[in-house]
């Protein structure tokens, strides 16, 4: 390729390159720098070392604080985890958390715990539902195209309207879900198997059932994963099934030893995308809780917390540090999955 051709190539790629540099790379670098600073997001004035500033004036400047933001976040993670796994004797006489130079933020642990709970429940369940639906839609039936469209539609219809609909479904008093549960409970109640005072869950209005409610809701939008599974299922060679049948394999064995190994690349892709997506869950919790994080922070997901810190508390430096911690967490999970894939993902034609 001649230098002239190179130049023309770069010129054609220039709009994208400008976008990448200006709207992706630049914010990434700035957020990394900000994560080592304290900034209220209002003044663009830098703090000059040696300048005497009253404690309540500090927040007015962009100030280099080194690793303080990370120590605050990670300290909160460590403290929260410690308390959850080995609860200390809580006493009013002494302070709860050990005072460090940077007070640990235990909300980080709460947010990460909520997110992980959601992620580790919603992603596997979502994959199971998506795979099951894909297998159903892989049948040779009349009008199967219509069914495929209908099952994929919720994925397209996602957004605020869907979330509002689910809020009604989960309403403890008037919601569809609890109406069904109450109807189902009537017979066991009459038989004395269920107490007369039994009440269905309070879903989004309590802290115990709020996350499961969101997990159930997430199953509604598994259309994208389903489509990928469907494509993978259609690529499984028919002769493998024939051979399995000749060997006497039943339906389950065919699924276990033919279908599943053949679709592992799709499974792997959906798993990685699911984990990444679920760790970034935001809109559902934001709309359902008005951005507050639900009853006693039960729906305070990590990205929602970053948003709160940046746009409610105007701690942009700290919010940037939180974003980088999330990046590290997602990266760690993704690397773990990629490393583990060599043992369970099968690529046809690949040398083992």
Partner 1 sequence: MRLWRVLRAALALCAAAGAAWWLLADTVRKYAPAAGDQPLRVSFWGIYEEFEMWGHMLDDFRRKNVGLEVRAEYMPGGRYEQKVKQLLVADEAADVILYQDEPFWMLVDHGKFEDLTGWIERNWGPGASSREALHRRFFATAVDSFGRWEGRGAGRRWHQYGLPIWGGPNLLYCNRKCFARAGVIVGPTPDGSGLWKSPDGKRWIVDDDNWTIDQWVEVLRRLTIPGRPGQPPEQFGYNLGWWLYWLPFHYTLGAGYLDERREHTVFCTPEVLRSLKLQQDLVYRYHVCPAASELTMGQSVGFLGGRLAILNSGPWEMPFCNAAELDYDLLHIPRRSPGGFRATRITWDAVAMYRGSKKKDLAWRLMDHLVTPESQRTVTRVQRDLPSLRSEAGTFVTANPKVHTIKFVEAAEQYAVMQPITIHWEAMARVFARAVQNVLLEDPARRLTPEEAVGMVYDDNDTDAMKLMTVLPPLDANEAAKYREIYLRSGKTR
What string marks each residue from 217 to 246 as x (binds partner 1 by CB under 8 A) or -? ------------------------------
Residue with smaller CB distance to partner 1, 213 or 263: 213
Q: Which residues pair with 62 in a beta bridge?
A: 46
Residue 299 makes contact with partner 1 by CB under 8 A: no
| Burial of 40: CB neighbours in 10 Å, binned 0-12, 13-18, 19+ | middle
Annotate 281-297 with b (16+ C-beta within 10 A) or e (fewer): beebbbbbbeeebbeeb
Q: Which residues pair with 63 in a beta bridge?
A: 38
Contacts of 336-342 with CB under 8 Å at 24 or more apart are 337/268, 337/271, 337/272, 337/275, 338/272, 341/268
Residue 117 makes contact with partner 1 by CB under 8 A: no
Residue 54 makes contact with partner 1 by CB under 8 A: no
Residue 311 makes contact with partner 1 by CB under 8 A: yes
DSSP code, position 258: I
Residue with smaller CB distance to partner 1, 97 or 233: 97
What string marks each residue from 60 to 99 as x (binds partner 1 by CB under 8 A) or -? x---------------x------x------xxxx-xxx--
Residues between 153 and 212 with contacts to partner 1, criterion CB under 8 A: 167-168, 171-174, 202, 205-208
Residue with smaller CB distance to partner 1, 77 or 122: 77
* 321 touches 73 (CB < 8 A): yes
Residue 2 makes contact with partner 1 by CB under 8 A: no
Q: Can you tell me the distance from the alpha carbon of 47 to that of 63, in angstroms, rounded to the nearest whole number? A: 5
Task: Provide the minimum distance between the beta carbon of 285 and partner 1 in the complex, in angstroms, as a whole number.
Answer: 16
User: Who contacts 36 (Cβ-Cβ below 8 Å, separation ≥6)?
Assistant: 64, 65, 66, 67, 69, 317, 321
Residue 7 makes contact with partner 1 by CB under 8 A: no
In the complex, the residues that contact partner 1 under the rule CB under 8 A are: 11, 15, 40-44, 56, 60, 76, 83, 90-93, 95-97, 103-107, 167-168, 171-174, 202, 205-208, 292, 295-297, 311-314
């Amino acid at each position: 390729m001649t230098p002239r051709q190179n130049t023309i190539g770069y010129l054609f790629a220039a709009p994208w390159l400008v976008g990448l540099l200006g709207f992706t790379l630049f914010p990434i670098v700035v957020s990394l720098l900000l994560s080592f600073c304290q900034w209220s997001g209002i003044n663009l004035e830098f703090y000059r070392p040696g300048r005497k500033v009253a404690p309540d004036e500090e927040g007015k400047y962009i100030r280099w604080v080194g690793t303080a933001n990370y120590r605050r976040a990670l300290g909160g993670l460590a403290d929260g985890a410690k308390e959850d796994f080995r609860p200390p004797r809580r006493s009013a006489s002494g302070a709860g958390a050990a005072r460090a130079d940077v007070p640990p933020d235990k909300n980080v642990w709460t947010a990460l715990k909520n997110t992980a709970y959601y992620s580790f429940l919603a992603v596997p369940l979502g994959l199971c539902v998506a795979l099951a639906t894909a297998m159903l839609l892989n049948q040779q039936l009349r009008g199967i195209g219509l069914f495929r469209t209908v099952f994929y539609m919720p994925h397209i219809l996602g957004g605020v309207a869907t979330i509002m609909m689910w809020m009604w479904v989960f309403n403890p008093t008037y919601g569809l879900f609890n109406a069904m549960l109450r109807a189902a409970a009537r017979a066991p109640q009459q038989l004395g198997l269920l107490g007369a005072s039994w009440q269905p869950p309070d879903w989004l209005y309590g802290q115990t059932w709020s996350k499961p409610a969101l997990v159930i809701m997430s199953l509604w939008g598994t259309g994208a994963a389903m489509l990928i599974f469907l494509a993978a299922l259609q690529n499984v060679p028919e002769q493998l099934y024939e051979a399995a049948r000749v060997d006497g394999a039943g339906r389950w064995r065919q699924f276990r030893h033919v279908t599943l190994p053949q679709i592992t690349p799709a499974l792997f892709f959906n798993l990685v995308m699911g984990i990444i997506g679920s760790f970034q869950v935001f809109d559902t919790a934001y709309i359902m809780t008005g951005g507050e994080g639900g009853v006693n922070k039960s729906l305070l997901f990590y990205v929602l917390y970053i948003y709160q810190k940046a746009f409610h508390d105007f701690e942009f430096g700290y919010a940037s540090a939180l974003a980088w911690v999330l990046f590290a967490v997602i990266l760690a999970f993704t690397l773990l999955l990629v490393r583990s894939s060599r043992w369970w993902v099968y690529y046809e034609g690949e040398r083992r």
